[in-house]
Structure 1
Amino acid sequence: MHVEGTILAGRDFEPVEGRVVVEDGEIAAVEEAAVESENVVLPAFVNAHTHIGDSIAKEAGAGLSLDELVAPPDGLKHRLLRAASHEEKVEAMRRSLRLMASTGTAACVEFREGGVDGVEAIREAAAGLAIDPVVLGRETADAMRASDGFGASGARDAEFDDLRAETREAGKLFGIHAGERDPHDVDPALDLDPDFVVHVVHPEPSHLDRIEADEVPVVVCPRSNLVTGVGVPPLRDLLDRTTVALGTDNVMLNSPSMFREMEFASKLTDATATEVLRMATANGAEIAGLNCGVVEPGREARLLVLDGDSDNLAGAQDLVRAVVRRAGEADVTDVVY
């Protein structure tokens, strides 16, 4: 099969008129050619940080602090999760996963509450859907063993040294929240030698030096940080130091829309449109160990196709900037997995 249009090719998303040739689920070639299609073809998104279980409690807890909302074990989200039935949680997660899949998100990196049961619940919710969650269990070593790794809440919440060692021995991903409300848990998080850290809203210069020296990737969630009142991550400083990816965080607080997250990050910070699109695609894939996120031969064919002649995108002079700052669900014509 092939997909025609203006292709945002490679890590720099250079517009190429032509077609993407797909064979056995892999991109075989990107061919430059004159085509009649007005479509825009780009890599499908990788949402690098989600809490899909929160889908049972959208817009709950208005006015609560970050700790009151999400701090384990008795933040509002944890109480609501305990009160919900297995069936309710699976159906709510399935709805969010289905929404992401239909709007071009090929994978998400999920910090999954509920131990082994929580891991099994999201696997059940994702069954038959195109989206492929990278599931990081929480709370127990058994959850890590049943999933793709471990997603730690934060260094101030518990001691994670043993779990970090077990995760490393298993050859799985270890991610941890750090620097979300203040800088005090950043060094303890980095001491664990994580595969990536999430948020880093309040890094000190020494933290940035460590992140750069140790090549620690960072996942930022600017919409969530603004909603919870903790601030905005210093995106320029982070981009200058390391690999940065984009996540939508808690479904309680924000829709899991990478379109909205990209627009917000682009308009709120001085990151370029190319950097933001890379944060939403290639960088998230790199952190998660996925072979997608870039339109180039040898990559998995996970593609998003937009209508470049939609009322929203027609007349765009800079396609990458238009995708990042104004494209949305209504512009999606196809998702290729």
Structure 2
Amino acid sequence: MTDPAADEPGSGDTETYEGTVLVGEDFEAVEGRVVVEDGAIAAIEEASVASDDIVCPAFVNAHTHIGDSVAKEAGRRLDLDALVAPPDGLKHRILRETPDEELVAAMRRSLRYMHATGTTAHVEFREGVAGVDAIAAAVDGLPVESVVLGRETVAAMEHPFAAGFGASGARDADFDAERAATRAAGKLFGIHAGERDPHDLDAAMDLDPDHLVHVVHPEERHLDRLAAEGWPVVVCPRSNLVTGVGVPPLRDLLDRTTVALGTDNVMLDSPSMFREMEFAAKLTDATAVEVLRMATAAGAAVAGLNCGAIEPGRDARLLVLDGDSDNLAGVRDPVRAVVRRAGQGDVKAVVP
């Protein structure tokens, strides 16, 4: 059993989580406990413990659009542009037509589900100032951190709740002014690129983004630029298959740069990192360690957060799984179990 226990009753300053602890960015399986003090990991203690739990970093979902939580499974048989291209894709029409209160309530439900499935932070692309206002209202009071990249206008990026600018793609507009304003503000700049073909990748890379999203169709020169410049890439393989654009070349990307994992639009897929990890692991030749790193430490790096690995000094964002559940009992490789097998029913605790 996990044993969150304060040093003094009611102090809440120190807690411990026991079991098989997946330590560091290579997720070495260590029997023992994680000691948490004042919200940070203070120590990992190797010891013989009675708990069957698996303690791993909580997930960082590196690319989401949760505004379309009001339109789950809408748009059957529509192509990518008809679904989500601005300004009049189905998603954008639905967002314009839906009352703010309904949008906020739907996003809040998605955020609660994300936390219940082990996610404590996400990078969210949100449309306009009103969109940033809406996500700020939706996440208020929930134990999830929304790293919001405002879209469409510089004003959305400059919103106090926004961490940067999220560009739709270089084929949609010239984002030089937005990139310059974001850089001047010291904020993050992310851009969709290479989703349906390679033709917008050069222009996206010329903007020197903080990260690129999708990169399903890189050519060799794009891979060379990734290796040289070190731009992180966020992949969303389930979404890419739903929209019919293909599967990102994970091996090529992982061999060249940091790769993180996102779930993309809620209208297309549930924001479950369990599902995204299993899909990525079974569809590609990425190892379980690589996929779990994509869902944790790499996502934290993209978001600029001090979490994603169980190491002293990191923020204590943890996921505790019941290793004795009917689903996980008998597991021989805990990293593969988290990536390929675990689900919401195995979750015992999400910290915080």
TM-score class normalised by the smaller sequence: over 0.9
Q: Which AA in structure 1 matches 2:114?
A: M
**Pair 1:71-2:85 in alignment:** yes
Output the CA distance in 2 between the equivalents of 1:77 and 1:103: 25
Give the % identical residues: 76
Segments of 5+ residues of structure 2 without an aligned counterpart are 1-14
**Pair 1:42-2:56 in alignment:** yes
**Pair 1:153-2:162 in alignment:** no
Query: Which among 267, 282, 303 is matched to residue 288 of structure 1?
Result: 303
Secondary structure at 1:290 match in 2: coil
Secondary structure at 1:135 match in 2: strand
Per-residue CA deviation, residues 179-222 of structure 1 (Å, 9 max, x unaligned), is 00000000000000000000000000000001111111000000
Query: Which among 1, 17, 20 is matched to residue 34 of structure 2?
Result: 20
> Residue in 2 aligned with 1:219?
234
Output the CA distance in 2 between the equivalents of 1:288 and 1:169: 18
Output the CA distance in 1 between the equivalents of 2:302 and 2:350: 22
Per the normalisation by structure 2, the TM-score is: 0.95
- Deviation at 1:117? 1.0
Q: Which AA in structure 1 matches 2:330?
A: G
Query: Which among 194, 203, 226 is matched to residue 188 of structure 1?
Result: 203
After superposing on structure 2, the runs of 4+ consecutive aligned residues of structure 1 that deviate more than 6 Å are none
Query: Which among 128, 146, 150 is matched to residue 141 of structure 2?
Result: 128
- Deviation at 1:127? 0.6
> Residue in 2 aligned with 1:141?
154
Output the CA distance in 2 between the equivalents of 1:266 and 1:62: 26
Secondary structure at 1:184 match in 2: coil
Output the CA distance in 2 between the equivalents of 1:54 and 1:262: 22
> Residue in 2 aligned with 1:229?
244
Output the CA distance in 1 between the equivalents of 2:250 and 2:350: 29
Secondary structure at 1:148 match in 2: strand
> Residue in 2 aligned with 1:208?
223
Output the CA distance in 2 between the equivalents of 1:54 and 1:212: 34
> Residue in 1 aligned with 2:132?
119
Q: How many residues align?
A: 336
Segments of 5+ residues of structure 1 without an aligned counterpart are none
> Residue in 2 aligned with 1:89?
103
Per the normalisation by structure 1, the TM-score is: 0.99
Secondary structure at 1:137 match in 2: strand
> Residue in 2 aligned with 1:55?
69
> Residue in 2 aligned with 1:272?
287
Output the CA distance in 1 between the equivalents of 2:231 and 2:139: 29
Secondary structure at 2:196 match in 1: coil
Secondary structure at 2:330 match in 1: coil
